[in-house]
Structure 1
Amino acid sequence: MHRSYQPLKPVTNRYLQQRWDHNEYENHRRKVISALPVVDNKGMRTPAHVQLKLKKMQWQDERLSIIDRDNRLLASKLADIVCSKGLVDHRNQNHLRSLNADKRREELLLVGRQNRAIYQRITARQSEYRRQLWLDDWERTERRRDEISQHPRGLAEKQRSSRKVKFAAAESSESSASCSNTDRTTEKPETQTDANNIG
């Protein structure tokens, strides 16, 4: 077989050259098989606290302990029911009692005392408003206004109150007796006002 082997370079002994080349190729194959990668592509190692999850284990232990305690309480209640003679215990002996009741009671008493003190101060205080002074001041203001004004205010109001005007539609709807009475009352002031205007 070494006689059919053709090396790349001219050699004196083909058999030895074939064996050397074969050995070099085997060494090369071994090196390729045992070669390690130059680039580390394995990724990051998972931290121990993520793998183990101690908090989750603690939560599971606490949950199991709560379940065991509830089971023991339930078993004790069932045992009491079995040992009793069929009596129904439906009354709750534990009364609800707030731990903060004393403090709230003291605060309510303090607020009540403060409110009473405020009420006594308010009722004992004399009023600073003087209604008579206000009325006297208003009368003085009205007198000055009447003295200053050219036409007194009271005359126009008296004329307006004594004078009554009736419309034709309103007169037709009313009865004749009521109309005659209102006409008599309205005629007198009109004649008086006409006389005043003429004079």
Structure 2
Amino acid sequence: MHRAYEPVLPCGSKLLQQRWDLTCYREHRRKVQVAKSMIDNHSPETFSHLQLKFKKLRLEEDHLSNIERNNKKLLEKMSTIMRTTGRVDNMNQYKSNSLNREKRQRELERVTRENQAMQERLKRVEPQYNHLKWLEDWYKSEEHLDKIARYPRGWYIAQKSKPKSKARKVKSAKNSEKIKNIQVRRST
């Protein structure tokens, strides 16, 4: 086996050089096994006060104890109801008794009588304005408007409702009648 070993560097004895190289290699392997890593890749240290939130636990415990207390009170009330009549006393026997109800009733009747009397007086009173005279004045003003107007009332609406072609025919027919009337007058 020593004959097969070829050292890297020149040496006097290949056998000794092989042993020295083997010893160095084993020492190297041992150091590699024992060596600590330069990079810390372990999980960080956990602290108990960050994992267990004591305030939150205490608040939750208080909340649960409050619920438990309320449930116990409710259970006591229900057992009392079951042992007794079994009804809840929620009826209100109080009736409001007004001390001045009669006076208010009399006042209301008095006001009602006065209103009815006033209504009767208003029905009997004659009106001061004569609506017939107003209507007559209206008709007179309408007549005056018709007399001073340039065109008769409603002529524009009548013109719009007629089709134009018929209006032209009617106009030409009227013109021809006027011409005939004028000719008849001249002949007589």
TM-score (norm: length of structure 2): 0.39
| Higher RCO (C-alpha under 8 Å, 6+ residues apart) | 1
Higher Cα Rg: structure 1 or 2? Answer: 2
